A and B are shown apart, each in its own frame.
Chain A
Amino acid sequence: MAEYILEVKDLKTRYVTRFRENVYAVDGVSFKLKEGETLGIAGESGCGKSTLAMSLMGYYFPPLHYTSGSIIIDGRDITGEDPEVLRRTVLGTEIAYIPQAAMNALNPTRKIIKYINDVLVAHNIRLSRTELREMAEERMRLVNLPVEVLDRYPVELSGGMKQRTVIAISSLLSPKILIADEPSSALDVSSQKLVIKMLLDLIDKGLVKSMIFITHELPLLYNVTKKIAVMYAGQFVEMGPAHESVFEPLHPYAKGLMGSIIVPSEGIRDEHLVAVPGTPPNLKSPPQHCRFAARCKFRQPLCDSVVVPERFSSDGRLFRCLLPEAVLRELKYEDQIKSKQEDAEVELDVNIIPFAEDNGDGDSGKESGG
């Protein structure tokens, strides 16, 4: 058993559109998860959360393409493995995915039990009729579904039932890592909580070793996962223990984002994470300098001219900002940075990384091509 169940190093993936344009939706994401740990990923719509989830599977098909970086599951580097081997030995067994629109994820014309059998057969597991039914019924009970569901078609199930069926199917082969992409966004608050609890139960029961939750509704998540990462324009801009990330965020974007949930109470659900004015950069040509600069209240002249690396605070939290840790710890989103010393700029304590040499094709130094 490796130290980390999942290790992601500088993962970069992109969409190639019909017009051969690249969309750099995941652009340098790194993190590590230990067995039993859960990670929550938050960020506004379009920042690349779902793309990251799909990229972590290591199995790419158009329009999504792998660019660079590595994904190591329990010591095994799955990047660059043969797709057929991946399909059989990784998908569903090492890492599994609950898609964002779980309601539409099932083939409408296939009975649930047959679909379950398809998943098993795809991994060379051939069960007799009674064995299959026994195991399927057990999984249905695990997600509180009546066993009759097995003989239904997805169109005959309610939204919540489909959701739970998808959870049961995604966890069917006891994957080490389960990624749930907004597992609850289409449900009401109480059902959302139920779904999250059901997912956490999978870890307790030992079916799943580690889990990644994706959401843009942090209020539901911050007391559920151990770690929380905030994603912005294809990168993590903040990552640390859940409580700190939510209540004492370091990155200016995270500060703005968390502003809306800083008074955590019931009925807060209406406040979505859109408190930060402005729009994110176009991921077809994201800026080389700080990606958040255009919307940042605390922006400094240098912010527009250097690459911002991932930085780590004294206690190991990640933040992708040029401002010194000490300054960020003190700053509130409501503050004005220049209020104490008029006209004085904050001294930035970062090693300046110049931009990559522009090779004149207007591609902002990105690797390009298919």
Chain B
Amino acid sequence: MKGYTRYFRNRILWYLLTFAVALVLNFVLPRLMPGNPVASIAAGVTESLTDSKAAAEMMEEYTRAFGLDKSLPEQFLVFIGNLLKGDLGVSFRRYPTPVVQILKESVPWTIALQLPAILTGWMLGNLLGAVAAYRRGVFDRAIFPAFLFVGAFPSFGLAIILLFVFGIMLRVLPTSGGYGFDLIPGFNLQFIASAVRHYQLPFWSIVLNTIGGQAIGMRSMSIYELNADYVKYSRFLGIRDRRIVGYVFRNAMLPQVTGLALSLGTMVGGALVAETIFSYPGIGSTILSSIKAQDYPMISGATLFITVGVLLANLVIEILYGFIDPRIKANQQE
């Protein structure tokens, strides 16, 4: 057990380091984009001003308000200082709304979309991989390759295809938004029905994109496990085939949990793209519009939120995994 604790202390240190690096990148990268955010934001306001001096003053005021008059390192210190107080700054685009406020609006949409979609895709993928390995036949030769093919599409490509087929050609599902634009969010039947309908396309595009990648790993793990010595030994002991298939499924499934942790970042990235294609009111769409407006605090805040989310999910999976798979536990203790 001592080795186990030490293992996790090391892991947590490692996560903190990753977080620190991500923090710097999340801050610096948006600010390296060419262009001046104040210019575009102020443009709207200063248009009406004929006095060029007044316009210049206005610009200066915005620059000061956004803290852009300071050097980059100084800005970073301010950013960190505010962060410690739980303040992510104020959005440029929706000045003076705080970034935290905007995140609060969009994050629930993203979580409600991505968590179920990624988990569903992961589970269906594992099921398909296991069945393809065990049953062979049509599963292995037709269904599995079909999902592999679909999964190999870039996420925006798949989203656009779905949007085109179901939204534009068949006209069975809405193509954008999280709910009908004429509705006000609330707990009424009309709104929920609308939200469910808007949910379908982004949800399935994420699910379809996840299945193939998960199935491929699960299939090879299952084939490997089916050939393991314990399968043969269990058979010769007279253990029922159904039980042995259970062993194989469990043993092949466990490494897939790490697979989930490893690909979580990519999956979230893909899912964010799907959000923007369907103009879903989540964090992906928020990032897209912030990038267009060079809304630095908003970009940094949103990416920071995603970073923390993915890292935390990873850590939780890793801890859980050590408990459910004795093989890993034994490794971790070494």
Interface residues of A (CB under 8 A from B): 54, 57, 59, 61, 87-88, 90-93, 96-97, 99, 101, 104-110, 118-119, 122-123, 153, 155-156, 166, 169-170
Contacts and interface: CB of A to CB of B under 8 A. Distances in A.
Nearest to A157: B330
A61 B226 CA distance: 13
Given A104-B229, A119-B237, A169-B237, 7 more contacts: A57-B236, A87-B238, A107-B251, A109-B326, A122-B238, A155-B330, A170-B237
Nearest to B235: A61
Given A104-B228, A156-B326, A156-B330, A109 B247 contact: yes
Interface string B196-213: 000000000000000000
B237 A107 contact: no
Contacts of A106: 230, 233
Given A105-B229, A106-B230, A122-B243, A92 B326 contact: no
Interface centre among B233, B254, B330 (most CB of A within 10 A): B233
B247 A97 contact: no
Given A107-B251, A122-B243, A156-B326, A96 B229 contact: no
B325 interface: yes
B104 interface: no
24 contacts: A54-B232, A59-B235, A59-B236, A87-B238, A92-B238, A96-B236, A99-B233, A104-B228, A104-B230, A105-B230, A105-B233, A106-B230, A107-B234, A108-B230, A109-B251, A109-B254, A109-B327, A119-B239, A122-B243, A153-B326, A155-B327, A155-B330, A156-B330, A169-B237
Contacts of B330: 153, 155-156
Contacts of A101: 229
A92 B237 contact: yes
A186 to B, nearest CB: 13
Interface centre among B232, B233, B236, B247 (most CB of A within 10 A): B236
A122 B327 CA distance: 25
A99 B243 CA distance: 20
A87 B230 contact: no
B141 interface: no
Contact of B237 (A91, A109, A156): A91
Contacts of B239: 118-119, 122
A170 to B, nearest CB: 7
A318 B239 CA distance: 37
A110 B247 contact: yes
Nearest to B230: A107
Nearest to A54: B236
Contacts of B238: 87-88, 90-93, 119, 122-123
Interface centre among A54, A88, A105 (most CB of B within 10 A): A105
B237 A122 contact: yes
A88 B237 CA distance: 9
B250 interface: yes
Given A87-B238, A92-B238, A153-B326, A109 B250 contact: yes
A262 to B, nearest CB: 35
A301 B330 CA distance: 61
